[in-house]
Chain A
Amino acid sequence: MSVHVVPVRTYLLVFAALLLLTATTTSVAFVDLGPFNNFAALGIAGVKAALVVLYFMHVRYGTRITPLVLAASAFWLLLLIGLSLADYATRGWLGVPGK
């Protein structure tokens, strides 16, 4: 069986990192970084998610197709948000009511 058993130490390290990142994201939120607050919040969340995906969800030790499934869903979600924002972000540019 090609089941990779992750050492407990690895799990504990990931857990510590996740707690640290959580504390960081909360404290950073109280510091005024201007627009970078958003990047920081989402960026840290992204790193935390990546740690959970790679280690707790075993993606680091699994097949090639799993990251593909994940990447596809992330891409599709960005499509939904991005193309919708294309509407919202450009409303009123023309100076004509309703456009």
Chain B
Amino acid sequence: MTTATEQAGETPRTHYLNVNYGIRSWLLTTDHKRIGILYLISVTLFFALGGVMAVLIRLELATPQGDLFQADQYNRLFTMHGILMIFFFLIPSIPAVLGNFLVPIMIGARDLAFPRLNLLSWYIFNIGGLFTFWALLHGGVDTGWTFYTPYSSTYSGTHVIAVALGIFIAGFSSILTGLNFVVTIHRMRAPGLTWFRLPLFIWSMYATSLIFILGTPVLAVTLLLLGAERLFHIGIFDPAIGGDPLLFQHLFWFYSHPAVYIMVLPAMGVVSEIIPAFARKKIFGYRFIAYASVALAVLGFLVWGHHMFVAGQSIYAATVFSVLSMLVAVPSAVKVFNWTATLYKGSISWETPMLYVLGFIGLFTMGGLTGVMLATLGIDLHVHDTYFIVAHFHYIMVGGAIMGYLGGLHYWWPKITGKLYPKVWSRIAAVVVFIGFNVTFFPQFILGYLGMPRRYHSYPPEFQVLNVMSSAGATILGVGYVIPLIYFFWSMRYGKDAASNPWGAVGLEWETTSPPPTDNFETTPVVTSEPYHYTRPAEAPGVL
């Protein structure tokens, strides 16, 4: 229970941030909260790197000619952009930053099941990043983040093995994080915390962890085989000895499609936490959202062939994957309907986290609907490898996943740091991000539909207007991302102290101090109520 002094906003004397100081206490920590912050630093650095690639890409594409970079250099740009953003930012972002911080607290535990493994995960992640960064400094890789053979296995002269190794190593970091989460959620819940009393963020972390555990190893072995073919001529994908390049694609996409659910499920979990808090209303259809999360994790493994409709797989397989891909839209839609129903007749407050998740719902829906379009064989045949695809996945990854990540950061920042950030600037930034995002990526749907192919540094002049719009939007989006960077840093020094429950939200994390003590709670909580038991707005916030 929070005390009166804590509700007044006084930081408690000892908490996990000030319990000890010095670089060793951070680099050798086993506290899941500190590890979450270590990940925050790492992924932000990788995001910045990937962002630089994006800036260069959009600069080049402002003119129809390939005048800023040669084709070969441009190939390296979009490849490194994809690799850095996907493997080193999006995939770890919410799970490793917010998940690490929140999972034990939300279930009333003192730490994760394997704290030292957690720290090892962070080191492994950075080692993988180091290999990739080394390759970047030496010219990067030009195969596309998809590494299709035989170009990647035989013909590319770039540092494929270094990057493949980097991703392979970083993959173990996610596997271990997923393992930690699954075991923790199964075995370390507080007394009274049954499965259907868990916060939906935990459900989404659990579902994401299933994908980490069951999908990532297949990518790992595929990259290993790629390296083996390049190094030892163990030509599993080599057509000269009967190998099938398509086998690489099957194995690659078996992981990489579920990977997009790794990126979006956690964001959905964030949305499920923030909507009830800022509508001051119990979530609508809790069990449906919980089941939908697991359904997404499972169904997400059944659709990978939709990335290969024009690659040469049999038409029958393509049809099967097409039907299954339509099916996978259903759980996502269920969630969108439930969130909307939660908002209905709620008492809405327009705090910054809410702005981000409202943006998420709209943009994710657009991205998802275009996904259903793409599942249709006839349409995909025309728009595959065009900017339609690029727009589709950026709507989900940036309009969806990143907005969810930012929303979550803004929601839990007071809990993590014990500080409040400036409300006006944070709202401005959210709006700037939303506008910048749409100006950047909506034109790309049109460009793709009109036939502009992806992964080319030059294009026919009739596409220039839309491309300039997109590049202008990218500038706005970039500004929108820099603003929170500035005020988050500012808040750590000059921000007002946060109360235990600054939002008046419901959840175990709000029942402990901001920041929490090292063992998260004074005494182990006992859970007796349903989740999201929000009271009417007239009563005082924080009263449960």
Contact = CB atoms under 8 A, between A and B. Distances in A.
Partners in one complex: yes
Interface of A: 65, 72-73, 76, 79-80, 83-84, 86-88, 90-94, 96, 98-99
Contacts of A87: 246, 250, 305, 313-314, 317
Given A65-B186, A88-B314, 15 more contacts: A80-B218, A80-B251, A83-B302, A83-B304, A83-B305, A84-B251, A86-B316, A86-B320, A87-B246, A87-B317, A91-B314, A93-B314, A94-B316, A96-B315, A98-B312
Interface residues of B, number: 20
B302 A79 contact: yes
Given A86-B320, A87-B246, A87-B250, A79 B313 contact: no
A96 B315 CA distance: 10
Interface in B300-315: 301-302, 304-305, 312-315
Nearest to B316: A90
Nearest to B308: A87
Interface in B117-164: none
Contacts of B251: 80, 84
Given A65-B186, A72-B214, A80-B218, A86 B317 contact: yes
Nearest to A85: B317
B254 interface: yes
Nearest to B255: A80
Contacts, number: 48
Nearest to A73: B214
Contacts of A65: 186
Nearest to A72: B214
Shortest Cβ-Cβ A-B pairs, 7 listed? A87-B317, A90-B316, A90-B314, A87-B313, A91-B314, A99-B315, A76-B214
A96 B320 CA distance: 18
A81 to B, nearest CB: 10
Contacts of B301: 76, 79
Secondary structure of the B side of the interface?
A: helix
Contacts of B304: 83
Secondary structure of the A side of the interface?
A: helix
A83 B218 CA distance: 14
A94 B460 CA distance: 37
Interface in B264-291: none
B250 A84 contact: yes
A79 B215 CA distance: 11
Contacts of B320: 83, 86
Contact of B314 (A72, A76, A79, A99): A99
A94 B315 contact: yes
A97 B316 CA distance: 14
B134 to A, nearest CB: 32
Contacts of B314: 86-88, 90-94, 99
A87 to B, nearest CB: 4
A19 B282 CA distance: 60
Contacts of A79: 301-302
B254 A80 contact: yes
A94 B218 CA distance: 30
A82 to B, nearest CB: 10
A36 to B, nearest CB: 27
A13 B186 CA distance: 34
A94 B313 CA distance: 12
A65 B305 CA distance: 31
A79 B186 CA distance: 25
A67 to B, nearest CB: 14
A72 B254 CA distance: 16
A39 B305 CA distance: 29
A80 B253 CA distance: 10
Contacts of A88: 314
Interface in B2-46: none
Contacts of A94: 314-316
B1 to A, nearest CB: 34
Nearest to B215: A76
A99 to B, nearest CB: 5
Point out which of B218, B251, B313, B321 has the most chain A C-beta atoms below 10 A from its C-beta. Answer: B313
Point out which of A90, A92, A94 has the most chain B C-beta atoms below 10 A from its C-beta. Answer: A90
A90 B317 contact: yes
A83 B314 CA distance: 12
A94 B316 CA distance: 9
Contacts of A80: 218, 251, 254
Point out which of A72, A76, A87 has the most chain B C-beta atoms below 10 A from its C-beta. Answer: A87
A53 B445 CA distance: 52
A86 B186 CA distance: 35
A92 B316 CA distance: 10
Contacts of A98: 312
10 contacts: A72-B214, A79-B301, A80-B254, A84-B247, A84-B251, A86-B317, A86-B320, A87-B305, A87-B313, A93-B316
A94 B312 CA distance: 13
Nearest to B182: A69
Contacts of B186: 65
Point out which of B254, B314, B320 has the most chain A C-beta atoms below 10 A from its C-beta. Answer: B314
A80 B301 CA distance: 8
Contacts of B214: 72-73, 76
A96 to B, nearest CB: 8
